[in-house]
Amino acid sequence: MTSTVELPLWLFVLIVLFAAVTFASHFLFPSVRWFFRRRMERVVARLNERLARPIEPFKLARRYDMIQRLIYDPEVARAVADHAREEGIPENVAFEQARRYAREIVPSFSATAYFGIAIKAARWLSQSLYRVRLGHYDEEEFRHVDREATVVFVMNHRSNMDYVLVTWLAAERTALTYAVGEWARVWPLSRLIKAMGAYFIRRRPRNDLYRRVLARYVGMATEGGVTQAIFPEGGLSLDGALARPRLGLLKYIVEEHESGGRDVVFVPVAVNYDRVFEDRILVAAGQKGERRFQARISVVAKFIVKQFWLRLTGRYHRHGYAAASFGAPLSLEQFEAETPGATVEDLGRRLMKRIGEEVPVLPVPAVAHVLIAADGPVTRHEIERQIAAMVEVLPGTRMQLPRDDTAYAVEVGLRNLRKRGMLVEDDQGITVNEDDRPVVAYYAKSIAHLLCTRSD
């Protein structure tokens, strides 16, 4: 028992490492997890005191537990069996595929990451890039929303800045859970996005098993009262106009909703910008007739470096205005009661109509609308006259004119287009550079539906 045993150094180090891992996993890690769990619960309790829509327990559940609950759900189990039978593979192989899908979808929300990092970063970025305005927002309407209902923000999709802008503007009310596309599955961005509570979805799902796993997660989150934000258009607008709704996530929310259970309240949100940073990429993709587009990292890096250089040299100007408007909430139970037999397509059209009614009119879209509709050069006086006519036609909450001054709004709109070299100006007036006409039309189309006119 007391004799000496000689071991190679590498083996001794390996034994010590195994002992350390065993000690940590059995004694240290549970204590550390418990410590941080208690700390997180105190943080969430303080947050819930000031949030209009408290963070629900479902959102705070451990990611591992949520994955287990999802893959052992009876409906997912049936989908696994069906998939195994259709593909001619063992059920345990199909089950592992379902587990892989669940791990890909399920987020790991961190209140500290969301409210301590994401909200501050979103506010800083939004205010650094734009002059931000809040359009229509009726506090009284939101006070009457059932506190037990699940709130789903349905938004038009103009830019990837939508996530940032609305996350910040909604920060005083709730924590939003977004469905994000495959563009965000890049490390380390993916870890941060999951920590913010977002979940990934594939735009082109491979099979019915994936769709069933995703549908059940969306159903569980909705049943659990998680406040969500979705884009019914299914992707960024390629021509600037509102697109027809694509009913994937909306269909899951409606079909997974149990009659008599927790109500779902949809809140239409409309965003608009004086400058969409992806505009040329989106327009080019629309002209090609395909949605496959990507921004090279070199282009993004060049843009960031340029903005920093402008700041250092004191020549930086924000890129115009950005605004968001919140429409009247729509209860799913009320919609179904008022329109018996209505389909998900009917609901999608109703929501897109409400979103369209809330789109803010900003200086660049307003000026672009006048220039695109004109047959030739337009004088500045004529632009001011036509935008003043818009003010008479549209409700005040739709027109986001800086300083409530039409002349100054025209100056802001022209300045932003002029800065990008999109205008030709001479003694006869102002026209759009032909090479940039599709991009200017992109901004005009964002408000064309409000004016019942067509922007080519």
Sequence-distant (6+) residues with CB within 8 A of 73 are 216, 220
User: Nearest 5°: CA angle at 263, between 257 and 266?
Assistant: 95
pLDDT digits (tens, 9 = 90+) for 339-353: 998 899 999 999 999
pLDDT band at 234 (very low <50, low <70, confident <90, very high): confident
pLDDT band at 190 (very low <50, low <70, confident <90, very high): low
The residue with tokens 């800086």 is: 402
What mean pLDDT is predicted for residues 128-152? 87
Mean pLDDT of the residues in the chain: 84
For residues 398 and 213, what is the distance between their CA atoms, to the nearest angstrom?
A: 40
Reported pTM:
0.84
Range among 200-204, 244-248, 267-271, 292-296 rated most confident? 267-271
Question: How far are the Cα atoms of 30, 281, 318, 343, 402 from residue 301, in angstroms, in the given order?
Answer: 42, 16, 18, 45, 31
Which of 287 and 193 is assigned the larger pLDDT?
A: 287
- pLDDT, residue 258, reads 80
Local structure of 106: helix, strand or coil: coil
- Give the CA dihedral 210, 213, 217, 222, nearest 10 degrees: 90
Domain boundaries, the chain: 104-277+319-358, 363-450
Would you call 192 exposed, middle or buried from its count of C-beta atoms within 10 A (0-12, 13-18, 19+)?
middle
- pLDDT, residue 151, reads 92
Given this structure, which CATH class describes domain 104-277+319-358?
Answer: alpha beta
Fold of 363-450: Arc Repressor Mutant, subunit A (1.10.10)
Residue 50 has pLDDT above 80, yes or no: no
- pLDDT, residue 386, reads 94
Would you call 33 exposed, middle or buried from its count of C-beta atoms within 10 A (0-12, 13-18, 19+)?
exposed
Do 104-277+319-358 and 363-450 share a fold? Answer: no
